């Protein structure tokens, strides 16, 4: 019963010991030097040492702060801009080409500009995250508003609803599903933006540690930072996935009742 209920979570966890075993066997079979690829246990000890004797937690909090702050600001900008563009088609034709041009520009080429303008602190990384996050939120908002049936609007007009009532009763619930899906995508993109900014120029953060490990030939520091980044990205995605399911639980109940 427990396995059936949590099967989707248990199966990925079963891959971890298999991956570690293959990793260990590869080092033993090919006699790989420790400075190129450490053994799993040695890496685990080194990572623990970074937490105990170093300031790994400080760097994690810096990267997490950049991601969450940038995502929050990007969410607001994407929502407002997406809603306006969905309502005013003329403005969409003017603004959208410039938005696409900025989005298609490689973020790694924009990072030095933000660092030059705003310095090595958190501000330049947050702006880069905002730039990455706001686009998928904006596109999902536009598509969500445009997908609402015109008959629904006509019904609200017959009921003499004002714009606020239309937004709260129709547009917000209709766009919620696509919006939450956009947020899950945006969070993963936010991590990429933050790490790129840190790797180009930073005083702290996990991206900074990856660069530092490369400069000092510390494979343990590089791998530890990469694994923590991967785990952080997965946990953030999982968190927003849970939020999405809880928020849209009413829809699942509605489907069950209709079915």
Q: Give the tens place of pLDDT for each residue, 201-222.
A: 888 899 999 999 998 899 999 9
For residue 175, being part of any structural domain is answered with yes
Below-70 pLDDT ranges, the chain: 1-12, 249-259
For residue 7, being part of any structural domain is answered with no
Indicate whether this model's pTM tops 0.85: no
Q: Phi, psi (5° rounding) for residue 108? A: -70, -20
For residue 14, being part of any structural domain is answered with no
d(CA 103, CA 81): 15
Contacts of 70 (CB under 8 A, 6+ apart): 125, 126, 127, 128, 129, 130, 132, 133, 190, 193, 194
For residue 28, being part of any structural domain is answered with no
d(CA 234, CA 124): 24
pLDDT tens by residue, 159-170: 777 878 887 878
For residue 81, being part of any structural domain is answered with yes
Q: Any idea what the CATH number is for the domain that residue 173 is in?
A: 1.10.3720.10
Give me the pLDDT at residue 256, please. 45
Q: What sign does the CA torsion over 157, 161, 163, 167 have?
A: negative
For residue 44, being part of any structural domain is answered with no
Please give the torsion angle defined by the CA atoms of residues 223, 61, 241 and 135, in that order, rounded to the nearest 10 degrees: -90
Nearest in space to 137 (alpha carbons), one of 74, 87, 208: 74
* Domain count for the chain: 1
Report the 10 Å Cβ neighbour count for 13: 9
d(CA 233, CA 229): 6
Contacts of 36 (CB under 8 A, 6+ apart): 219
Give me the pLDDT at residue 64, please. 93
Task: Report the chain's C-alpha Rg in angstroms.
Answer: 23
For residue 205, being part of any structural domain is answered with yes
- Domain holding 64, by residue range, is 50-258
For residue 126, being part of any structural domain is answered with yes
Give me the pLDDT at residue 3, please. 54
């Amino acid at each position: 019963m427990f396995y059936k209920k949590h099967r989707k979570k248990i199966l990925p966890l079963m891959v971890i010991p298999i991956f570690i075993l293959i990793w260990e066997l590869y080092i033993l079979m090919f006699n790989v030097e420790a400075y190129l690829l450490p053994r799993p246990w040695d890496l685990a000890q080194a990572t623990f040492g970074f937490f105990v004797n170093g300031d790994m937690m400080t760097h994690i909090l810096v990267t997490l702060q950049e991601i969450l702050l940038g995502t929050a600001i990007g969410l607001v900008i994407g929502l407002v801009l997406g809603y306006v563009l969905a309502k005013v088609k003329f403005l969409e034709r003017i603004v959208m080409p410039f938005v696409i041009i900025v989005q298609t520009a490689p973020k790694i080429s924009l990072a030095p500009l933000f660092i030059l303008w705003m310095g090595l602190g958190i501000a330049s990384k947050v702006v880069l995250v905002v730039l990455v996050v706001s686009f998928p939120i904006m596109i999902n908002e536009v598509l969500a508003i445009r997908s609402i049936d015109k008959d629904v609007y006509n019904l609200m007009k017959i009921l003499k609803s004002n714009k606020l009532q239309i937004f709260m009763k129709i547009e917000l619930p209709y766009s919620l599903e696509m919006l939450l899906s956009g947020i899950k995508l945006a969070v993963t993109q936010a991590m990429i933006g933050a790490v790129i900014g840190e790797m180009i120029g930073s005083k702290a953060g996990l991206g900074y540690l990856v660069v530092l490990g490369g400069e000092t030939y510390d494979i343990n520091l590089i791998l530890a930072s990469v694994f923590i980044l991967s785990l952080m990205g997965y946990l953030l995605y999982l968190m927003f996935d849970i939020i999405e399911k809880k928020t849209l639980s009413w829809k699942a109940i509605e489907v069950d009742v209709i079915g």
